[in-house]
Amino acid sequence: MLGSLGLVIPVRDDLRVLEGYHSPQVDVDVRLNTNESPLSPPDAFRDALAAELSRIEWHRYPDRAATELRRAIADWHGVDPSMVFAANGSNEVLQTILLTYAGAGRRVATFEPTYQMHAQIARVVGSEVVEGERNADFTLDPDELRRVVDEYDPHVTFLTSPNNPTGLVEPSERIGELLDVTNGLVVADEAYAQFADWSALELLDDDRPLVVTRTFSKTWSMAGVRLGYAIGPAWFVDELEKVVLPYHLDAVKQLAGRVALRFVDDMNERVRLIVDERERLSTTMRGMPIDVTPSGANFILFRPTSIGGRDLWQQLLDRSILVRDCSGWPRLADCLRVTVGTPDENDAFITALKEILT
Ligand code: PMP
């Protein structure tokens, strides 16, 4: 009834300015816009999962501590299970971290351009977002890092490596420098780290406020399942467990994650294929009127130099190829981001680029 009178209940004052996170899902032949794996998981994984599903106790709540899943993740990374926190995609991991360590009256630092959800979730949980800027080539200047920490004393600072949407891998010195100066938590978002050549996992230490977040969405071909995790000191995981909802991780997902970890070799093979394809794409694109940002991820940020970015995006879409249009984002004028697809999808993308640009 109230709706028919046109009454709209106002949201929290600090949420009114938020625009939400948009990544259009358009029906096209070649979808290269959301950084998923272009390959479905191995058949053997699906068979093994199907066989084990029958053993799930559907009428019982799942294991609240996700004991076996955490043990499997911990074994894979060579850490103790007490250092693993799992949730519904790394986005929920990030949200739980921010609910625990940020929130009203606290500050969260990001270095732009970077993954938009860091600032978005930080604001949703009521924190103030303080932004540092990257250089024109998207690298991060250590002086800028220090400036932001000195000026704002952030409670949580994000570094994304490889960074989204730029694809650049953050050098380990940058994370070390940040840890040297900050009084807050450092979150290394490593959603794409398996495509890169180093990981901040190497720097983890019980006495350091460093945590690393990972996801099953990319390399594990499991974006549809929504599973991510953080690895960090046990004291950090203990705090997150107090904040997250009870039984947040359903039994099917816990099982899917465990079964996936039996297929590490298949996953590594997929990573190799994507990395090879990424290098093929980058090399080919460098031979065209395009600025290509070096990528350590499963996507490439690029800027056409002979036509506008939005124009190129539309012309690709006219050929049923969807890439991410970043051209309207601050500091990313004319930039587009392409996810590395299957060899056939990448061929279609290259053929279209050639048609449009040459
Ligand atoms: N971090 C980064 C840097 C990402 O790009 C993404 C996905 N776009 C995520 C986290 C979230 O991944 P998911 O929630 O699927 O695990």
**Per-residue pLDDT tens over the stretch 59-76:** 999 999 999 999 999 999
Domain that residue 351 falls in: 3-41+265-357
Half-sphere exposure (CA, 13 Å, Cβ side) for 2? 3
Ligand 1 mean position, distance from CA 223 (Å)? 9
Query: Per the structure block, which two tokens stand in for 242?
Result: 């107090």
In a domain, 46, yes or no: no
Residue 207's pLDDT band (boundaries 50, 70, 90)? confident
Q: For the residues 326-350, what does the mean pLDDT come to? A: 96
Domain edge (last residue) among 263, 287, 309: 263
Alpha-carbon gap, residue 178 to 188, rounded angstroms? 11
Query: Is the CB of 165 inside a 6 Å radius of any atom of ligand 1?
Result: no
CATH number at residue 174: 3.40.640.10
Nearest partner of 214 among 178, 241, 248, 187, judged by Cα? 187
Q: Could you tell me if 125 and 98 are in contact, meaning their C-beta atoms sit under 8 angstroms apart?
A: yes
Encode pLDDT of 158-183 as tens digits. 999 999 999 999 999 999 999 999 99
Encode pLDDT of 16-41 as tens digits. 878 766 666 789 999 999 999 999 99
Phi, psi of 130 (to 5 degrees): -115, 130
Torsion of CA 18, 141, 107, 112, to 10 degrees: 10
The helix or strand, by DSSP H or E, that contains position 321, with its residue range, turns out to be strand 321-325
Ligand 1 mean position, distance from CA 37 (Å)? 12
Are 36 and 163 members of one domain? no
The residue contributing the CA closest to ligand 1 atom 1 is 191
Query: Per the structure block, which two tokens stand in for 236?
Result: 């950090």
DSSP state of 40: P
Are 347 and 198 members of one domain? no
Alpha-carbon gap, residue 292 to 283, rounded angstroms? 9
Are 328 and 232 members of one domain? no
User: How do 156-160 and 107-112 pair as beta strands?
Assistant: parallel
Are 344 and 235 members of one domain? no
Alpha-carbon gap, residue 114 to 144, rounded angstroms? 15
- Ligand 1, atom nearest to 218 Cα: 15
Q: Is 211 helix (H, G, I), strand (E, B) or coil?
A: strand
Q: How many CB atoms lie within 10 A of CB 125?
A: 18
Indicate the number of domains in the chain: 2
Higher-confidence residue: 141 or 330? 141
Ligand 1 mean position, distance from CA 63 (Å)? 25
pLDDT, averaged across the chain: 95
Are 217 and 288 members of one domain? no
Are 236 and 295 members of one domain? no
In a domain, 330, yes or no: yes
The pLDDT assigned to 15 comes to 87
The pLDDT assigned to 217 comes to 94
Query: Is the CB of 115 inside a 6 Å radius of any atom of ligand 1?
Result: yes
DSSP sequence for 298-318 = SEEEEEESSS-HHHHHHHHHH
Query: Per the structure block, which two tokens stand in for 56?
Result: 């799930």
Query: Per the structure block, which two tokens stand in for 252?
Result: 């099917």
Residue 5's pLDDT band (boundaries 50, 70, 90)? low
Are 164 and 229 members of one domain? yes
Are 128 and 36 members of one domain? no
Domain edge (last residue) among 242, 263, 284: 263
- Ligand 1, atom nearest to 114 Cα: 3
pLDDT over 70 at 348, yes or no: yes
Higher-confidence residue: 2 or 19? 19
Q: Could you tell me if 280 and 272 are in contact, meaning their C-beta atoms sit under 8 angstroms apart?
A: no
Q: How many CB atoms lie within 10 A of CB 326?
A: 22
In a domain, 345, yes or no: yes
Are 103 and 207 members of one domain? yes
Nearest partner of 258 among 59, 48, 90, judged by Cα? 48
Ligand 1 mean position, distance from CA 215 (Å)? 7
In a domain, 133, yes or no: yes
Ligand 1 mean position, distance from CA 265 (Å)? 23
Query: Per the structure block, which two tokens stand in for 87?
Result: 């949730």
SS3 content of the chain, % helix, strand, coil (to 5): 40, 15, 40
Q: Which residues contact 266 (CB under 8 A, 6 or more apart)?
A: 41, 42, 44, 45
In a domain, 92, yes or no: yes
Alpha-carbon gap, residue 25 to 166, rounded angstroms? 21
Nearest partner of 232 among 223, 240, 220, judged by Cα? 240
Are 103 and 63 members of one domain? yes
Residue 1's pLDDT band (boundaries 50, 70, 90)? very low
Are 314 and 250 members of one domain? no
pLDDT over 90 at 355, yes or no: yes
The residue contributing the CA closest to ligand 1 atom 2 is 191
Ligand 1 mean position, distance from CA 356 (Å)? 31
Query: Per the structure block, which two tokens stand in for 206?
Result: 């019980």
Domain edge (last residue) among 239, 263, 287: 263
CATH number at residue 278: 3.90.1150.10
Alpha-carbon gap, residue 185 to 318, rounded angstroms? 45
The residue contributing the CA closest to ligand 1 atom 12 is 90
- Site to probe by mutation for ligand 1, drawn from 159, 212, 215, 326 as the one with most ligand atoms within 8 Å of Cβ, is 215
Are 33 and 78 members of one domain? no
Encode pLDDT of 78-105 as tens digits. 999 999 999 999 999 999 999 999 999 9
Ligand 1 mean position, distance from CA 45 (Å)? 23
The pLDDT assigned to 8 comes to 87
pTM over 0.80: yes
The answer to whether the peptide bond before residue 343 is cis (omega within 30 degrees of 0) is no
- Site to probe by mutation for ligand 1, drawn from 21, 23, 93, 115 as the one with most ligand atoms within 8 Å of Cβ, is 115
In a domain, 325, yes or no: yes
Ligand 1 mean position, distance from CA 242 (Å)? 23
Query: Is the CB of 217 inside a 6 Å radius of any atom of ligand 1?
Result: yes
